[in-house]
Amino acid sequence: MGYLYIFGTIAFTVYGQLILKWKIDQQGNLPEPFMDKIIFLLQLLLNPWIISGFLAAFCAALCWMAAMTKFDISYAYPFMSISFVLVFILSAFLFQEPITMQKAIGMAFVVLGIIVMR
């Protein structure tokens, strides 16, 4: 059951990050005038998708707390690196973000680090 909590943490984290990116990209750039920035951010905060992203972060925290009851943090925390890899891959597919050689090598090191830590 402990691994399910870790998986939940990763899944909720990845969902939240991708949803926030998706909706913020749709909203556009942060305006320059201060009051326009406040309005821009409030509009984002009231967006149901953005709210679901924050709710996902909260659920990820709950799953993480449950995982901490099952594992030492030194064992469980490296699994969180999987969220970096998933966001990297999914952002390329969903948002057409570039996969450069430098990014790919960096992700390979993250994966290698996960393997070495196990």
Say yes or no to pLDDT of 115 above 90: no
Q: Give dist(CA 7, CA 106) in Å, integer.
A: 22
| Domain parsing of the chain, residue ranges | 2-117
- Total-model pTM: 0.88
User: What pLDDT digit, counting tens, does each position of 23-80 carry?
Assistant: 999 999 999 999 999 999 999 999 999 999 999 999 999 999 999 999 999 889 988 9
User: What pLDDT digit, counting tens, does each position of 80-90 carry?
Assistant: 989 999 999 99
Structure tokens that stand for 64 in this block:
């993480």
